[in-house]
Each structure stands twice: as structure tokens, then as C-alpha cells.
Amino acid sequence: QKEVEQNSGPLSVPEGAIASLNCTYSDRVSQSFFWYRQYSGKSPELIMSIYSNGDKEDGRFTAQLNKASQYVSLLIRDSQPSDSATYLCAVNSGGYQKVTFGTGTKLQVIP
């Protein structure tokens, strides 16, 4: 069983719409959750981190965490073509600072 699961996509949304990216994790004791954006050929860039249940907003991005359901999501409002990338969900588990990544969801924002 994969530790961090994501739908690989691609997820296509029209420009201006809300993109919703989902992630589930298996380790119940996980405490830290992250969303990274990775453009093709580039390394991941941290977008959001979330540590407690509920929503966390930063600009057009909102991360949502539900530890009871072992579920974390990322909402991107007013999606732009420049948001087209692969989004990686990451969970801190299995040891100090060790982060496990999902396989990523490819997002395509259609102009």
C-alpha cells in the first residue's frame, strides 16, 4: 500500500476556475503535510504547509486537512495557465524530517 496517494491526472480546468487536488495518506501519526509544485524539468517548490485540521489560505491557494479521514487537499482559485504543473503532496512520516511524496497530480489550466 502506497503511503501517500494522489490521482495522477491530468486534471484539466478552464482558466479562472477552481482546481481541486486531493491526497490521502496511510500513516495515522503523520503530523506535517505539504504541497509542492513542480514544473517540467524543474525541482519542486513549496507552496503550502499545513499542520492542523481545517483550512489554511495563502493567496489563491487553500490547503485543507482532515486527519480523521487521512485526507489533505489543495484548492487553487482563479486558476491561471501558469499554474499548469505537477502538484506533489508530501507527508512527514517515518522519522525526523523524512518526507514521503505522492506520485503527483498533473494540472492543466486551459486558456
Partner 1 sequence: GAVVSQHPSRVICKSGTSVKIECRSLDFQATTMFWYRQFPKQSLMLMATSNEGSKATYEQGVEKDKFLINHASLTLSTLTVTSAHPEDSSFYICSAHEYRNTEAFFGQGTRLTVV
Cβ proximity to partner 1, 19 vs 88, nearer residue: 88
Cβ proximity to partner 1, 17 vs 49, nearer residue: 49
Residue of 46, 57, 80, 81 that binds partner 1 (CB under 8 A): 46
User: 105-110 and 11-14 as β-strands: parallel, antiparallel, unpaired?
Assistant: parallel
CB atoms within 10 A of CB 101: 16
DSSP reduced 3-state for 93? coil
Q: List, in order, residues 6 or more apart from 97 with CB less than 8 Å away.
A: none
Cβ proximity to partner 1, 72 vs 90, nearer residue: 90
Residue of 25, 34, 35, 87 that binds partner 1 (CB under 8 A): 34
Q: Which set of grid coordinates corresponds to residue 22?
A: 486531493
* Residues binding partner 1 (CB under 8 A): 31-32, 34, 36, 41-46, 49, 88, 90, 92, 96-104
